[in-house]
Amino acid sequence: MRWFTDPPPSLPPLISTLMYLFVSRLPLIMMMQLNSNLRIWTWSFLGLLEELKKLCLKCKPAKIVVTSELPLGAGLGSSAAFCVAISAALLALSESVKLDFSHQGWQKFGENELELLNKWAFEGEKIIHGKPSGIDNTVSTYGNMIKFRSGELTCIKTNMPLKMLITNTKVRRNTKALVAGVSERTMRHSNAMTAVFNAVDSISNELAAIIQTPVSDDLAITEKEEKLGELMEMNQGLLQCMGVSHASIESVLRTTFKYKLSSKLTGAGGGGCVLTLLPALLSGSIVDKVVQELESGGFQCLIAGIGGQGMEISFTGSS
């Protein structure tokens, strides 16, 4: 069981090439003709497959059934949730984590076990995306909220209930092209774009401070929600300055603005999803009207609470 209990090796995005080498069983002479880095990673990968084979020989055949309420390819982290779920299941079944299989209901991993799970899920994200930031799998693993800056991830806890309307525009976005567009705009207008990025950083820091401050009553919650709404609107304006909005996103913004709700795009932009803050005291009938109008325009709507529990596992078929 050592293969799962050890931290995952850091593999470069050469999995498909290495799989081809393995399946084709290239002669040793051809392996030796590879450059040194590729040869090292090839042997490392073959060693991993051998360890996996040993592990699988000790396990009974199994069927994996995956269900998800998240729309795929919409920038909501569905691939990360998948990687976390699969990694957690394998860790549990390989007895690499301490769990009570007779326990009724949901269980959580310990802190060290969550760290191990997150590392394995990140490896899965690398296979899918190449160079992911690690934000999505960390959120899926630990829950709550993540602050990301300069490659550093910090888990933060919200001290107030937050509910969001998530609107899926169903427009597929090209993340690579959007990132390239922002880079080009930054090169053309370096001073202006630097100011935009600094403003985004200030908004992120202020938002993190607001949600971590304790609240005493509904009035305090309302005041905080108003500040969060303003920050979301400012952030959306800055994202528009970067050139990552889209006609479908603007359509959602116009609809939610009619009901005096604050919204912003999420993910890479260029389509994907829009977040709309739903205040705690907002009438349910207003929410229904907003959802009805958006869905009549061909959009998909989901409502989610912010600050979930993260990865939990059950052996009793709980739902």
Question: How far is residue 12's CA from residue 9's CA, in Å, rounded to a whole number?
Answer: 10
Write down the mean pLDDT value for the chain.
81
Task: Give residue-wise pLDDT tens across range 5-41.
Answer: 455 554 444 444 444 444 444 444 444 455 554 555 5
C-alpha to C-alpha distance for 240 and 171, rounded to whole angstroms? 17
Query: Which residue positions in the chain have pLDDT lower than 50?
Result: 1-5, 10-32, 37, 318-319
Which tokens go with 212? 């971590």
Name the β-bridge partners of 303. 165
199-228 residue pLDDT tens: 999 999 999 999 888 887 777 889 999 999
Task: Report pLDDT for 152.
Answer: 80
> Read out DSSP for the chain?
-HHHHSPPP---S-HHHHHHHHHHT--HHHHHTS-HHHHHHHHHHHHHHHHHHHHHHTS---------SSPTTSSS-HHHHHHHHHHHHHHHHTT-S---TT-SSEE---HHHHHHHHHHHHHHHHHHHSS--SHHHHHHHH-SEEEEETTEEEEE--SS-EEEEEEE------HHHHHHHHHHHHHHSHHHHHHHHHHHHHHHHHHHHHHHS---SHHHHHHHHHHHHHHHHHHHHHHHHHT---HHHHHHHHHHHHTT--EEEETT-SSSEEEEE--TT--HHHHHHHHHHHHHTT-EEEEEEES-----EESS---
Residues annotated as part of the active site: 136
Report field, pTM of the whole predicted structure over 0.85: no
Residue 48: its pLDDT value, please?
Answer: 54
Q: What is the pLDDT of residue 22?
A: 45
**What is the arrangement of strands in the sheet containing 300-306, beginning at the earlier edge strand?**
263-266, 273-277, 162-168, 300-306
Looking at residue 52, what is its pLDDT?
57
